[in-house]
Structure 1
Amino acid sequence: MKQKITIEAQIQCDKCRSQAMKIAVAEDGVISVAFQGPNRDKMVITGDGVDAADMAKSLRKKLGYADLVSVEEITEKKA
């Protein structure tokens, strides 16, 4: 099951952004990671079978603040 996970994190500099990216990519099943929002403080993680709560917990340990905003299932359209 593919999912799209949105996590709001405390990201103030490029070093923090790089560290958050490394943590997210290290999780099993992650396909892509992108930053969105006006301050680029929301991480949008796409993956297959990713544990969203564990991801938020890992980010919270390193960055100090990470809030799980949403988890959506991605359905593929059949032609």
Structure 2
Amino acid sequence: MKQKIVIKVTGNGPKSRTKALRIAVGLSGVESARLGGEDKSQIEVVGDGVDAVQLTNLLRKKVGYAELASVEAVGEKKEEKKEEPAVQPVVWPVFGGGMPQTYIYPIHPHQDPSCSIM
């Protein structure tokens, strides 16, 4: 499940921001990271299976003060499902000793109606 993590980082200038971005991108599962907020003090990380607490602790150890602001799920585009055609029954009359009987065999869309084996 993709998620968007926003962490507020206080650093001593652009070098600490660059270092924080490098740390964020270095984690496994991170797809993108960028600076956000008005004063570029937030790091927005989007990824699949990223541990937000681990990332925040790494930033605290290596950059300085870091606060986890938010974690939210990113909605993925849902694929439209194709409607499967309805099962068409095949009517097969059987003539025996008495009354004629009719058997109905369902044919699935992936089966060829002319094939007698399947």
TM-score norm. by structure 1 comes to 0.93
Tell me the amino acid that sits aligned with residue 72 of structure 1: E
Q: Which has the larger radius of gyration?
A: 2
**Cα distance between partner residues in 1 of 2:26 and 2:34:** 14
2:7 maps to 7
Q: Which runs of 4+ in 1 moved over 2 A?
A: none
Count matched residues: 79
**Cα distance between partner residues in 2 of 1:65 and 1:74:** 26
**Cα distance between partner residues in 1 of 2:24 and 2:67:** 14
TM-score norm. by structure 2 comes to 0.64
**Cα distance between partner residues in 1 of 2:11 and 2:41:** 6
Aligned sequence identity (%): 46
Tell me the amino acid that sits aligned with residue 47 of structure 1: G
Structure 1 unaligned blocks of 5 or more:
none
Shift of 1:62: 1.1
Considering Cα pairs closer than 8 Å and 6+ residues apart, tell me whether 1 or 2 has the greater RCO: 1
1:74 maps to 74
Tell me the amino acid that sits aligned with residue 33 of structure 1: A
CA RMSD of aligned residues (A): 1.0
